[in-house]
Amino acid sequence: MIHRSLAFRLGVGLLMVGGSTSASSQGVQNFYEGMNVSMTIGSGVGGGYDAVARVVARHIGKYIPGKPNVVARNMPGAGGLTHLNYMFNSAARDGSVIGAPFNTALVLPVFKDPAAKFDPREFTWIGSTDKQQGICVTWGNVPVRTLADAQTREVLAGSTAPNAKPGTYPFLLNTVLGTKFKIIGGYTTSGLRLALERGEIESICGMAIQTHLAVNPHWFRDKLVNVLVQFGMSKHKELPDVPLATEFLKNEDDIRLLKFILIPHEFGRPFLAPPNVPSERRDALRAAFTRMLGDSEFLTESARSKQEIEPLSAQEIESLLKQAYATPPRIVDTAAKILRGPESVK
């Protein structure tokens, strides 16, 4: 199902292309005709970001004037920073390179991370295929079915690393809501799921429901897990009765803290180009992305690989970045401590 505002955005995209001069349109077509456009991916082969980017790469080219061939290549490293630093500082700024970055890495400059050598506000934003909602689940036979239960009983939560989402989100809940998650680190992503099924751990907290539904849909179909809470600005359509974490907060600073930490979820699976791409090529890429989102073959392949389509426009991503940069320093400092993860991770 296409996002409710897609029809509006499609109209905007068509106007942007239709409103350009014929000379400009011809120039864009001449530039892309016969070209190989690079789709650089900030993750390794086989992950969720890689899967989404490769589906986009297979379909977006038919809507770019000149119908270029789009070639995907992976550029993992440093939690997505290798890719974003390349896109900002080294990639060609002529519209011949598109990027699919890690959403969490995009806000690192807000924390003044010296390894983040880019300003996300200066990228040429194209759009996002979906937003994400993190969730906190326990296995079905664990007597912890609500956050209130997790405030009264220790819950073993598995994590890949202290600063990964399954480590930081239970730590966040412990910090602002007084839950009693005990975080056990050292798992691989696939190992986390096996550990939950085997009873080695009792909870996975922070992983996106979109990822769960793509990899373990039977957990939800067969009601094998309890969903305690979801992290996002809005609820996932499959979880209308599961509360948002923000619903439990009354302190204004805690609410701002949580919303700031959740901004990467709202980015979802974003796509960008380097800064200063010529405006006519920028508009052509945005219009191509919007048209692709309504393409039946794209939607069929996305559904087959269990990828949800709930897009954001370039302008919506830019608005989220403005919101991130407007966060008071005291909130950013607290978020930085939480996102480094608990020192007690074993």
Say which CATH number the domain at 23 has.
3.40.190.150
Please indicate whether residue 106 or residue 13 has the higher confidence score (pLDDT).
106
Kindly report the CATH number assigned to the domain that includes residue 230: 3.40.190.10
- Note if the pTM is more than 0.95: no
In a domain, 340, yes or no: no
In a domain, 332, yes or no: no
15 and 54 housed in the same domain: yes
Quick check: 42 and 102 in contact, CB under 8 A? yes
Number of domains in the chain: 2
Encode pLDDT of 41-97 as tens digits: 998 887 778 889 999 999 999 999 999 999 999 999 888 999 999 999 999 999 999
Answer yes or no: is pLDDT of 188 > 90: no
31 and 53 housed in the same domain: yes
175 and 158 housed in the same domain: yes
DSSP character string of 251-283: SHHHHHHHHHHHHHHHH-SEEEE-TT--HHHHH
89 and 173 housed in the same domain: no
Answer yes or no: is pLDDT of 3 > 90: no
In a domain, 319, yes or no: no
257 and 139 housed in the same domain: yes
In a domain, 65, yes or no: yes
Of 1-10, 140-149, 294-303, 321-330, which range is least confident?
A: 1-10
For the chain, give the mean pLDDT: 90
Query: pLDDT at position 45, please?
Result: 85
Query: pLDDT at position 339, please?
Result: 85
Quick check: 68 and 27 in contact, CB under 8 A? no
171 and 239 housed in the same domain: yes
In a domain, 237, yes or no: yes
Nearest to 339 by CA among 264, 236, 252, 247: 264
Of 11-25, 53-67, 241-255, 326-340, which range is least confident?
A: 11-25
99 and 124 housed in the same domain: yes
243 and 298 housed in the same domain: no
64 and 139 housed in the same domain: no
**Rounded Cα–Cα distance for residues 189 and 204 (Å):** 10
Label residue 311 by pLDDT band (50, 70, 90): very high
In a domain, 317, yes or no: no
In a domain, 36, yes or no: yes
122 and 223 housed in the same domain: no
Please indicate whether residue 268 or residue 95 has the higher confidence score (pLDDT).
95
210 and 287 housed in the same domain: no
Q: Which domain holds residue 234?
A: 134-263
Query: pLDDT at position 131, please?
Result: 87
The secondary structure element, H or E, covering residue 230 is: strand 225-231
* Tokens read off for 298: 């794209």
Quick check: 50 and 44 in contact, CB under 8 A? yes
* Three-state DSSP state, 205: strand
Give residue for tokens 């001449």. 30
Kind of pairing between the strands at 155-158 and 181-184: parallel
Query: pLDDT at position 21, please?
Result: 53
**b/e per residue 204-234 (b: at least 16 CB within 10 A):** bbbbbbbbbbbebeebbeeeebbbbbbbbee
In a domain, 184, yes or no: yes
Q: What percent of the chain has pLDDT over 90?
A: 72
Q: Torsion over CA of 89, 91, 92 and 96, rounded to 10 degrees?
A: -150
Please indicate whether residue 101 or residue 161 has the higher confidence score (pLDDT).
101
Label residue 11 by pLDDT band (50, 70, 90): very low
Query: pLDDT at position 2, please?
Result: 44
Answer yes or no: is pLDDT of 4 > 80: no
Label residue 214 by pLDDT band (50, 70, 90): confident
98 and 182 housed in the same domain: no
